[in-house]
Amino acid sequence: MFLSLVCSPMEEPLRCPGMHDLLPEEMERFRQVEEVFRLTCREWGYQEVRTPTIEHLFLFTAAGTLSAQMLGRVYSFLDWDGWSGERVVLRPDSTIPVARLYIEHMMGAPLAKLFYVQNVFRFTEGEREEWQCGVELLGDTQPLGDVELVLLGREVLARLGLGALGVRLSHPGLVRAVLERTGLSAGEQLRLYDAILDGEQEALAQLRGRIPDLGPAVDLLLREEGQGANYVRNLRAAFAQALPEVARPLDELEALAETLEALGLVPTVTGAMVRNFEYYTGPVFQLLVGDVVVGGGGRYDALVEVLCGRQVPASGFALYMGRLLPLVTRPPVAAATVWVEPADGAAATVAAAFQAASALRERGLPAQVALARGVSWGGPRLLVGPQGMVAFGAGASAGQQVGSVDEALTVLSGGAEK
């Protein structure tokens, strides 16, 4: 009776809140995205890495890493080694662990082009485990690096057969310059910024009230979007005098936008975009399929320095598997399998069935032994009995007696889709 609690439908699921099972069909699409991503990255000269699921919490707590809001949503705990009082965390982000990996194993290399497919854990109302396909570029690669990352991300999406691809650019230096003018504490600035990104009109009004000298142009910066380098130049005209701190961010944005335009790609430009990541120092971007943001990233030139004291410019992006999977169509079924069915349960018959399946696979024909009786299957099958073998082509009701696996192969491959 106690065990029936496990097997019967329950009001409360047995899996933990926010955790998601990947079922076979979803897993096929997952692998498709992963394989396209891996192939593309390798063709562009990137190398795959994987970091541990558990990291020291302190990697993420220094200023210039994750925002306080994000840190309030990590899975941190004292592990079995935690007698010293230092906490560990289920990685809430992959960029910081990859930067740590670079520092510990690759420091000094002029350029590290790395990619990964791994999960991150964050305590949210919805999914708490998110898989990401990410790329990190460590070394002095700018401004070419930013361009390459945008193009690499788009190529992955295009190879997945996705259309209506878009790119949105921004620069955290723009918002920081505005918020610093408010005289609010760092925490209050972040709360205000989050409220503005959430579309709260009152927050914007509060901001306007605190910096009246910037006038209504603040709305333009924080709420509007424009197209390409022209819009960047317009922003410069609007803010150059009142807010000279935005000059450098706008220069960096313009350079990136111009290059992308020369490649026939006009990005959308916006003043306010990413949150929760303090480490971004240069241009940031989002990759879109239609209206759906499927990935994002940017430049984080100060992160390696925060972690180890040595300056190494860097940038990266990640594609969000949870957003991509619903957009990707199911890949074509690779191969129909031949079912090899033992005619009875005698040891010799069962052994002969497993041997026949193995021999078929060796000859390039996917084959599996029919383990459960009474399961109805389609496709070709091979009946193995004490008197020999009978092969059935796909859909055939009548079988054909065969004397060897090779003979069976001829009959079966007529029906088996390769």
Partner 1 sequence: MIKIALPAGELRRPISQLLSQVGLDVPGYGEGSRSYRLSLDGRARVRVFRERDIPVQIALGQYHMGICGAAWVEEFLARNPRQEVVKLGSLPLAGPTLFLMAAPSTAQTLADLSRLAEPRIVTEFPHLAEALALALRLPRYRIIPVWGSAEAYPPEDADLALALASHEEEVVKRGLVPLLAVLEGPPVVIAHRQAIKALDMGWVLSALASLGLSSVPGMRLPASLGGLGLRPRPPAREREVLRVALPDGHQKPHVLGALAEAGLSFPGYAEGERRPLGPWDGIEAKVIRPQDMPQMVALGAFDLAFTGRDCFLEHIYRFPSSPVAVALDLGKGAFNMSAVVSVDLPVETMEEAISFWRREGRPLVRIASEFVAIADHYARSRHLWRYRVIPTAGASEGFVPEDADLLIEGTETGRTLAENRLKAIDVLFRSTTCVVVGRHTPTGRRGELLRLLLDSLRPVAVAGSATI
Q: What residue ranges bind partner 1 (CB under 8 A)?
A: 1-2, 4-5, 58-59, 61-64, 68, 71-72, 78, 80-87, 185-187, 305-309
Beta strand pairing call for 165-170 and 268-270: parallel
CA dihedral of 303, 309, 310, 316, whole degrees rounded to 10: -10
Q: Is the dihedral of CA 171, 172, 173, 179 positive or negative?
A: positive
Write down the least CB distance from residue 234 to partner 1, Å: 33
CA distance 196 to 191: 9
Write down the least CB distance from residue 77 to partner 1, Å: 10
* Best CA proximity match to 170, nearest among 260, 293, 282: 282
Complex with partner 1: residue 97 or 380, whichever CB lies closer? 97
In total, the chain counts a number of residues equal to 418
CA distance 382 to 133: 42
Complex with partner 1: residue 264 or 309, whichever CB lies closer? 309
Half-sphere exposure of 338 (CA within 13 A, CB side): 35
Complex with partner 1: residue 89 or 232, whichever CB lies closer? 89
Write down the least CB distance from residue 47 to partner 1, Å: 26
Write down the least CB distance from residue 185 to partner 1, Å: 4
Write down the least CB distance from residue 5 to partner 1, Å: 6
Q: SS3 letters for 315-383?
A: EEEEEEHHHHHHHCCCCCCCCCCEEEEECCCCHHHHHHHHHHHHHHHHCCCCEEECCCCCCCCCCCEEE
Write down the least CB distance from residue 66 to partner 1, Å: 10
Q: SS3 letters for 40-60?
A: HHHHCCCEECCCCCEEECHHH
Complex with partner 1: residue 86 or 200, whichever CB lies closer? 86
Write down the least CB distance from residue 305 to partner 1, Å: 7
Complex with partner 1: residue 221 or 303, whichever CB lies closer? 303
Tokens for 384, please give them.
């193995």
Complex with partner 1: residue 191 or 361, whichever CB lies closer? 191
Complex with partner 1: residue 129 or 417, whichever CB lies closer? 129
Chain centroid offset of residue 121 CA: 13
For residue 63, give the DSSP letter.
Answer: T
